[in-house]
């Protein structure tokens, strides 16, 4: 089992700091000037820039810094969006069992989830296979949408023979 690194509650902030530092370090190293030679011509010093190549240590530095920056950016993108979902969940769990409040909860939904939830509210205790017919969605799509609604605490699925009956929570 691989060890898991726990950044804590401020993981996105730590990742943002690592990303900024790695970008600044890369910019500093890439914009650094190479060696300059001075040649005396007619009593004045004339600067001549020599060709500069990166050493193996500098290439390794670039690789490690770019990797750290990339991983920090990826962490920020993936985990900042994950934090938004539980907040919505807390708001929706307090939905009482009447239809007007259920319709109010449907305003928090969008797209296909909203359409499916409205069909569930309209067809009290509707079967899952009936939802496929009413909405025109495929069976897997209805199943995925119902999974999302169930995770948010809006519906309950009960076994009914070979299928499921969908109820408002």
Same domain, 60 and 21: yes
CATH code, 136: 1.10.10.10
Clarify whether residues 125 and 63 are in a common domain. Answer: no
Dist. CA 152–CA 89, nearest whole Å: 5
- With contact defined as beta carbons under 8 Å apart, do 90 and 153 qualify? no
> Residues 47, 104: one domain?
no
Using DSSP's 3-state secondary structure scheme, residue 73 falls into helix
Within a domain: 87:
no
Q: What is the mean pLDDT of each run of 10 residues along the chain (169 residues)?
A: 62 86 88 78 80 83 91 85 48 50 73 86 85 90 90 87 86
CA gap 159, 137 in Å, rounded: 21
Residue 100 lies inside a defined structural domain of this protein: yes
24 is in which domain, residue-wise? 11-82
Same domain, 113 and 69: no
Report the pLDDT value the prediction gives residue 40, as an integer from 0 to 100: 84
Q: What is the pTM of this model?
A: 0.41
Consecutive H or E run containing 79: helix 56-82
- Res 153: pLDDT: 83
30 within 8 A of 73, measured Cβ to Cβ: no
Which of 32, 52, 82 is at the close of a domain? 82
Q: Examine the domain organization and report whether 121 and 164 are in the same domain.
A: yes
Task: Tally the domains of the chain.
Answer: 2
Q: How many CA atoms lie within 13 A of 96 on its CB side?
A: 4
pLDDT of residue 85: 45
Let me know how long the chain is: 169
């Amino acid at each position: 089992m691989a060890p898991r690194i726990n950044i804590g509650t401020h993981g996105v902030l730590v990742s943002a700091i690592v990303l900024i530092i790695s970008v600044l370090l890369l910019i500093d190293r890439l914009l650094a000037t190479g060696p300059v030679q001075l040649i005396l011509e007619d009593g004045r010093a004339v600067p001549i820039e020599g060709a500069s190549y990166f050493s193996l240590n500098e290439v390794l530095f670039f690789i490690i810094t770019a990797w750290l920056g990339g991983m920090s950016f990826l962490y920020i993108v993936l985990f900042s969006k994950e934090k938004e979902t539980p907040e919505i969940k807390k708001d929706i769990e307090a939905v009482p069992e009447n239809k007007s409040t259920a319709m109010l909860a449907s305003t928090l939904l969008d797209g296909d989830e909203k359409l499916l939830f409205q069909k569930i509210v309209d067809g009290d205790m509707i079967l899952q296979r009936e939802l496929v017919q009413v909405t025109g969605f495929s069976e897997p799509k209805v199943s995925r949408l119902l999974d999302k609604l169930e995770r948010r605490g809006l519906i309950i699925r009960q076994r009914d023979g070979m299928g499921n009956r969908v109820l408002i929570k």
